[in-house]
Every structure is written in C-alpha cells, then in structure tokens.
Amino acid sequence: MQLSERQNDALAELINIAFSRTAASLSELTGHRVVLDVPKVAMYPISELTTRLAQFLPAELASVHQVFTGPLTGDALLLLNYDGAVMLTELLTDEAIHSHRLNESAREVLTEVGNILLNACLGMFGNLLQVRISFSVPRLHLETLGEMVKSLVIDKEELRYALVVYTAFRVRDSAIRGFLVIALSVVSLDRLIQEVEKWEDNQGN
Amino acid sequence: MLNDAALRWMNDLSAQGIFLTDAGLTIQGWNHWLESRSGRAAAEMIGRNLLDEYPDLIERGLDKYYKDALEGQIRLLSQRLHHYLLPIAPQGDETSFTMMQQSARIAPLVEDDRVIGTITVIDDVTERISREDQLMRLLSREQAARREAEMANRAKDEFLATVSHELRTPLNAISGWVQILLKQGVANEFLAHGLAVVERNVKMQTKIIEDILDVSRIITGKLSLSVTQVNLAPVVEAALDAVRLAADAKEIRLEWALDADAGPVSGDPGRLQQVVWNLVSNAIKFTPGGGVVNVRLARVGSQAEITVSDTGKGISSEFLPYVFERFRQADSTSTRQQSGLGLGLAIVRHLVEMHGGTVSAFSEGDGRGATFILRLPLLAVRSTGDLLLQSRDKLKGDGTEPVFSSGGRPGDDNLKLRGLRVLIVDDDADARELLEVILLQFGAEIKLATSARQALAVLEDWKPDALVSDVGMPNEDGYSLIQKIRALAPERGGLTPAIALTGYGRPEDRLQLLAAGYQVHLSKPVELMQLVDSISNLTSRDEKKLYTPVE
C-alpha cells in the first residue's frame, strides 16, 4: 500500500491544521510562541518502521502513547529523543537550570504536550470521518525505538501500516525534532484515505 | 449493584480527589478526599455548577479542557504548566506554596456512544514539587560553583602566563648583563652600569616572588601578622625612603605631610610599610615624568588616614570596582604599557582588612589621576608615656627597617665586622662563596663548612663569633645542627650566636627556627646590609639591638 502524491499532500494539509491548533494551545499555555514545523508525511509498513526512524532516534526515546478505539482503531505516539524531550520541557516550563534528566514533573508536562498533539490529530480524523473516537489515557514511556515498535506489533496483530509525521517544535530560538506515529489497521487506513480524498475533492470545489 | 457498592468505597477510600459532573458540568459526585481537603461537603457541592463554584477555571482557560472532555477527549493537567486545578489550600504548614499543587486528569463519561458527563481525578503533588524544586536549587548552586571554579582556574592560567613573562623579563636583563660583564676588558663605567642593572632587576624579581608568596599565603589563609603597637609616621617615612630613587628617576615630585600624632595603631609594622610602599610605588608607576605624588598621614576621628594621590593616568570608571581584585589589571593585553602581576593592590586590601582597616580607590577617570585612602583604627591610648617611648624606640629598630630597602649604607660601615670570626654552613658552593665574599668585604674572618657534621667540627676547633647556616641541607639540616650546638657546653661553643637562612620566609618557619635555637632568621635572597647588621648586632658590636633572642 502506497500513498499517492495527492493523498500525501492532502494528509499533510489536514495534519497541519491540527498542528496549528496544537501550537496555539501550547503558546497560550506556556506564554511562549510555540510553532510546529509544517509536517512531512510518509507511510511505511510497521515492519519497516525501525529502519526508517533509526537514524533520527538512535538512542533512548521518550514516547507519549495513546491507544484509540471505536470506528477507527490504532496507536498514536509522539516520539522525541530523550535529550530533545528534556530540552522541550525545560523550554516550555521556563526551567533555567539544566538537569539533563526528566523528573516526574517534566514527564507530566511531556505527557500533557503529547496528549494535546495526539488529541488534535485524532480529533481531526474523527471529525473527518464523522465518528467518535475513544481514547485511552496517554502514557509516557522511556524506551528504545525497537522496544516501542515491538509493543505495537505484539499488541495488535492486525496492524500493518504506520503514518509517520515528521515535524519539529520551535520554542524560543530552539528547534526540537519530533515524530508522530499513527499505527492503523488496514481497514482503518482505507477508510481514512477515502475520507481524505473526499475532503480534498471538496476543497477543490 | 456491585458497581454502586464499589463506587461508594472508592468515594471513601481514594487518596486522590475525584469529582463527577453531568454533561452540563453540574457536580454529581464529590469524594471524601475533596471534602476534607477543600473544606466543602459533598452535600453542599452536588447540584452546583462547577464553573459557577470555581470561576477561576474560566480565567485560566480550563473550561476549555472540560469542553474537550465533553467532546470525548481525555485531558491532562501537569502541575508545571497549570500549578493546580482547584484552588485548595495546601495541607500542613511546611510548604511555601499558597495553593495545593496538583496534577489532574479529566475524562469523558460515555454511555451508548454518548458523553453523559466528566470525571476528574486530582493528585496532591505539593510535597513532590517542593522536593524537586529543592533539588533544582541544589543543582543550580552546584553548577554555579563549578562555573566559578572554572573561571578561577582560567584566571590562574592567565596569571601563570603573566608570572612566567614577568619573571623572564628581569632574568633576561640579568643574564644579558652578566654575560657582558664576564668578558675581559669591560670598561669601568660599563661595569658599574651593568651591575646597577643587574641589582635593579634582582630586586624586581625578588618583589615578584614575594608578591606571589603573599598571595599564596592569602589564598591558603596562612598569612599572619606579628602585631605590636605601631606609630604610623615612621612607617610611612620608611616606605617613602624606599621609593625615593624610583621617583627621582622619573622626575616625579614626592610630596608628603605626616602628622606625627596620627597613631598609634595595632599592627604589623613590616606589613603596614609594605601596604604604604605598594600604594606609593603604584602611584609612581602610573604617573608620567614630571608628575606629583602626594602622601598624607592624618588623624580623622578615631582613625588614622593615609592618603596617596597622584597626577597619573587615573582609573576608568569601568575598572574602578575591580582594582583590588586578584589577577586584575586594567590592561591585560600583551602590549600593555605597565609590567607587573596585578597582585599589589589585592595584597594591600587583604593586609589592610587584616588590620581591621579599609582601603578605597577614587578617580575621576582616565588621565585625571587617582587617590587611594587607607584608614586604620587608632589604638585607644591608655599607656603611660614610658610605654609609648619604649614602643617608639622599638619601632626605630623594627618599624623603620625598610622591608624592601635600597640596600646601600654609608661607607664607614665597611669594617663593621672587622676581626669577627664567622662560620658559614651551606651545601651549595655558590651560596657559600657569595656569603664569603660579602662578609670578607666587611672585614670578617671566614671559615666554610659544607655540612652540619663539618660545621660542628670547625665550631669546636675554631670557636667562631657567629654562625650563618643554611637550613635545607641533605643528610642533616639546619635544625639538627643548631640543636647539637645548643647541647654543647658554653666553652665548646654552645652559645655561639647563630643566623638561619631559608628560601621560604613563612612565619611558622621563622618561629620554629627561633625556637630551635637560632637568634635570627633571614630569607633568601639575603639583603647584604641586613646580614651584616645582624651579625654585628649578635656579636654586640652595635649598641642598637635589632633582635631579641628568643629562648
């Protein structure tokens, strides 16, 4: 399964709307201008995910993981390098002291940021499909890329594909690279792509 | 039914705050934890609207979170971004927070695919946040300390580079002139000039090393004072004597007005003279030829005030706050006009503060001259005239002895040591020879010993009038030597006056040496006249007693 260029562009545009909302929420929340880079979207089979992301996430990573169920089912994750996660929380909370580690409060902040971002994207998909998506409570994990991918494959055997969204958080002259991974079953993915195409057609009218 | 029973227990047992609302945000449940923490009973809260009861949720944009929840989303509130959800007073009084710090989760209550309300769970994280903040403060202090240490380290590196440079400069002149003078057939005026250059540079280098040692003592807290009652006028005069040549050489007019009644103070005369000398020679250094350096000593209230002002280059307002800092120089470029380590004023301030005084610098800016004012607390004069007289006499010996004297004395002293037998003990041949040459010039008879053992043999055999001994020697050192001598019977030389020479003039060495049996301790490099005077005094050729033997 491959996304056509048109499908890809339409998805990126939709996600960008969700990103703008997220950036606005984060800016309001922190009092700093937060910008999310225009997303680059790609779709890979889950089996390729580790290879595709390894160069960006070489060591331990921080992931905010939210499972969603309902008419659309899958896993949504925000992935950051551990150091990037520390930096992002320090920037968002005005922490002037650099501790180089995520304490409990920093983990909470990161989970909230992931929650806002994932909710915005999935909420947008839900609206598009005119269905209500049910969310689980977001959880933060500190793990390697391999461990993260393994948890996807083991939990949901029918999952085959992952939408990977490349972006970066820009806060106070710093950019922190982040990745959004939305793992979907083939059925869910088919439905999503159909709706994205419809949306795109309507945009054209 | 089972669920209802469980819910009732959860309401009572939970260690978190839990409340429920319907889809209109009317409160439908308020658990025991919330009752006890907020002081508001469930009976009171149930049926009321959440946003009416807590309008500050709207002010802080949290109504939006409930709106999202009502649309089926789960929302988290982290303490770091929100501090708290409900304004509740903190528990206990050991916290600096005015509100209980909270993290919270808001979730939709869904039935038949329809959101019928919300559930909110609140954690009290006040203690955790206090702990984290405290850790952060510790970390911050530790990081600041590390930064400071790194800066100090850099300053020391720079200092080391400056020291090397400053030590090499006089060494260069010395080595160059010595090579010229070693050649045969050097013209007489050349010889005199060359020797003068060598002498001047040796003094310069001695001063640099003394400054470094002083700073090292200051840093390690080992600088100590030999405190007596001191009259300041002779101290200032002595310092002026020591710089007169330098002022003359630059054609700088040295003016002074000394109030002889400004004193006494309690202090170390040698150190006070060093302070004044530093200030005055600094003034001369930074004043161009033809300028004026003015020194005043006056009594101001209960303080003695020494003012040193000049017509020199002045101090810029940017640098003024740092003049007394170690390793600081206004111009640290390699092409700077003035040599020196930038230690003098740091030493001055430290010494003055050790005396309970203050020193401050004033300047109207570049090119406008500078003024240093030194204030020392006066001693309450309760002593009788006799005591004062006695201390003045003592000062003539101690206080007016220039620490950095210009060396020369009138020529009629030349045979001061005539006929005196002096035994020199040193394992270093050059040092032995130097002492021999000096003392021979003053008419002494000399014998040399290269070790303590040899010295003891010569002592008993030759019966010298005085002994001058190095302290650091292989096998047997100067301590051991003097202990063996003092153990001898008087007729075998047990009472021979003895002078110790050391390369390190620390006060504790001095005390140890005097306790071991030496009468006098002198630091290397030896000041010629000081050595001659000491020998002369010890052998009672001079009526003026400089040193009191310590038993």
Query: Any CB–CB contact under 8 A between A99 and chain B?
Result: yes
Nearest CA-CA partner of A62 in A163, A179, A152, A182: A179
The CATH number for B243's domain is 3.30.565.10
Q: pLDDT, tens digit, for every residue of B261-290?
A: 787 888 888 889 889 998 998 899 889 888
Cross-chain Cβ contact A136/B74 below 8 Å: yes
pTM above 0.80, yes or no: no
Cross-chain Cβ contact A97/B140 below 8 Å: yes
Cross-chain Cβ contact B103/A108 below 8 Å: yes
Whether residue B377 is contained in a domain is answered as yes
Residue of chain A with shortest Cα separation from B70 = A132
Whether residue B394 is contained in a domain is answered as no
Please report where in the chains the tokens 């045969």 appear, as a residue. B184
- Whether B349 and B250 map to the same domain: the answer is yes
User: With bands split at pLDDT 50, 70 and 90, how would you rate the model's confidence at A97?
Assistant: confident
Cross-chain Cβ contact A108/B79 below 8 Å: yes
- Position B454 scores a pLDDT of 92
- Whether B183 and B233 map to the same domain: the answer is no
Q: Which amino acid belongs to residue A138? A: P
The CATH number for B93's domain is 3.30.450.20
Give Cα separations from B264 to B238, B349, B377, B387 (angstroms).
16, 20, 9, 12
Q: Which of residues 139-158 of A touch B (CB under 8 A)?
A: none
- Whether B105 and B203 map to the same domain: the answer is no
| Residue B412 per-residue DSSP state | G
- Position B219 scores a pLDDT of 73
Q: pLDDT, tens digit, for every residue of A108-145?
A: 999 999 999 999 888 888 888 888 888 889 999 999 98
Q: pLDDT, tens digit, for every residue of A53-80?
A: 988 888 889 999 999 888 888 899 999 9
The number of domains in chain B is: 4
- Position B117 scores a pLDDT of 96
- Whether B320 and B363 map to the same domain: the answer is yes
Q: Which of residues 44-73 of A touch B (CB under 8 A)?
A: 66
Residues in chain B with pLDDT values less than 70 = 1, 326-342, 380-414, 504-508, 541-551
- Whether B273 and B250 map to the same domain: the answer is yes
- Whether B424 and B498 map to the same domain: the answer is yes
Whether residue B450 is contained in a domain is answered as yes
Residue A155: both structure tokens together? 């939990």
Range of the domain at B81: 4-124
Partners of residue A92 in chain B, C-beta under 8 Å:
80-81
Q: Write the CB contacts of B217 (distance below 8 Å, at least 6 apart in sequence).
A: B223, B506
User: With bands split at pLDDT 50, 70 and 90, how would you rate the model's confidence at A154?
Assistant: low
- Whether B248 and B384 map to the same domain: the answer is yes
The mean pLDDT value for A79-102 works out to 87
- Whether B195 and B322 map to the same domain: the answer is no
Whether residue B433 is contained in a domain is answered as yes
CB A113 within 8 A of CB A88: yes
Partners of residue A111 in chain B, C-beta under 8 Å:
76, 78
ipTM over 0.90: no
| Residue B409 per-residue DSSP state | -
| Residue B400 per-residue DSSP state | T
- Whether B232 and B190 map to the same domain: the answer is no
Residues B123, B125, B128, B133: what is their CA dihedral angle, to the nearest 10 degrees? 150
